[in-house]
Structure 1
């Protein structure tokens, strides 16, 4: 891989590894609808001018139903649940639980008629990965955080469904205008709830910086860098960075927010990543890579 490829890879590992930290900070000062509106509206405003080619929008309009379904699972529902859950859970735990999305995707792909059968290796991966989820979620469930943990697991489910929709119904739709359309649709949906829960006072500088970074870096810039990475190294190799994101989320929470680094978190991360590698293998050869949705 070229130096440019490695730089883009490193950038994506960080950019989609830190949203959990920033969400945890942002929910201290704004409502969940305001947070989601900030991310989607700014992201749409940045991406739409980059996709002004009218011909590129024709496939988006022609496939508006699956585009809307993709937007619902990838952004509208997922970011609401994720942000609400982080009002109660640590950012590091949230990032680790979301890492289970590729495992859920592998199971859903097979259950919905996918062509890849559940080999013994993939079944072992599912078991190992789900064991990691149980290790992480168990103490929280016992400690009274059942609904926030459920919300995060529902986000992982959303992030598993979205790529199935994209692969089966949106393969011919250009990614940049589709992403801009999804963000724009989400912004329209959250405009009303955000206005109804707008903060009475200006949030702290810490919260405003987190919102700005979420919107500009982790949403708008993230997609631009991601598309550049795909052009540089190809789609399959580009998605390898999703295995790094959970570790970045864990480190960010521990270093910046002084969240606890426990043996259980490290062990859970190891099990989920090992399970993801095994569960997403297409053959007995090199492991396939997960969808980037699991990192956002």
Structure 2
């Protein structure tokens, strides 16, 4: 992985590690999950739509790709963001963040179903296995503690995050990043607007709740989505999803520091396994030089040539992805 790839990987590890904290603050206010998702999407859309329109051809892009764009919006945003937010009404932010680390494992399985040929290697498979072990350690206590519904919601979130990038890689690889992200966020905002209006609070939320909503919309949505789509182009779809192994570190630290959430032995073991899996899963041989890896859609870095076999600069044209092979897998 190049220096640029590592920078973007680290950036997304942080940016998608803090949404769990912000979501928890919002739903404990308490704000409804619908309002939280609406606010997050509306802010992101307002910030990104002007840039998407400025590129020209947005209407033409939507007309040509509306079916896969609709599928991507539903599977990546409309469904998962609600289920994750609703789950955090009962789960701690650190637990939610750790469970989302299951995305790469599910992504590998889903990619095979989609016909992906990106090589994993023994070391990376071992890393994914360790990560799955960490998720298992974290999940079992909650299954016996009556949080089955919330865990099921997080599982649905994981499934969506793992599947949506595959759709983007196969059907949206020529769509410019902003022209995919902005319309999807706008659609999600429209979907949740009625429910948000009905559950709108009678009084103005506190400053820290408003700050959490702003952070979700601006940093964790607008900035992060664009960034991650670029990351996929930089390091390849499978490797890009491994940021979900780093996000838990930030989620656990943020939950303990700002919300005084307990750091149990189980969390410690799960955390260790997940991070060890992250190191192994990002190692190993990439595809051969000259082979191009399709970028998947979920948020960060740019293209690069080299051992990873990512398209040369200028070949992707700023789109979601280019080349052969599909796969991929948020916060």
TM-score, normalised relative to structure 1: 0.86
Equivalent positions of 1:1-296 (< 5 A) are 10-28=10-28, 29-52=30-53, 53-116=55-118, 124-226=126-228, 230=231, 235-236=234-235, 239=240, 241-275=243-277, 285-286=285-286, 292=298, 295-296=330-331
State the distance in 1 between where 2:81 and 2:256 align.
Answer: 22
Post-superposition offset of 1:290: 9.2
In structure 1, C-alpha distance between the alignment counterparts of 2:43 and 2:83, rounded to whole Å? 20
Structure 1 window deviating more from structure 2 (284-293 vs 170-179): it is 284-293
Deviation of 1:217 after TM superposition, in Å, equals 1.8
Q: After superposition, give the CA deviation of every residue in 1:16-58 in whole Å (9 maximum; x if it has no partner).
A: 2100000000012211111000000111010000111222552
Any conservation in 2 of the 1:110–1:116 contact (CA below 8 Å)? no
**Runs (5+) with no aligned partner, structure 2:** 288-292, 300-328
Q: Give the stretch that moved more between structures: 260-269 or 27-36.
A: 260-269
Give the CA deviation at 1:285. 1.7
TM-aligned CA deviation for residue 193 of structure 1: 1.0
Deviation at residue 214 of structure 1 after TM alignment? 1.0
Report if the CA contact (8 A) 1:102-1:290 is conserved: no
User: Higher RCO, 1 or 2 (CA under 8 Å, sep at least 6)?
Assistant: 1
How far off its partner does 1:122 sit? Answer: 5.9
Mapped to 2, the partners of 1:174 and 1:97 lie a distance apart of 31
* Separation in 2, partners of 1:291, 1:176: 11
Cα root mean square deviation, aligned: 3.1
1:87 shift after superposition: 0.3
SS at match of 2:57: helix
Alpha-carbon deviation of 1:131?
A: 2.2
For 2:110 and 2:203, the matched residues in 1 are separated by 44
Which structure 1 segments of 5+ residues have no match?
Answer: none
Provide TM-score, normalisation by structure 2: 0.77
- Greater helix share, structure number: 1
Quick check: 1:103–1:280 contact (8 Å CA) kept in 2? no
Distance 1:93 1:117 in 2: 31
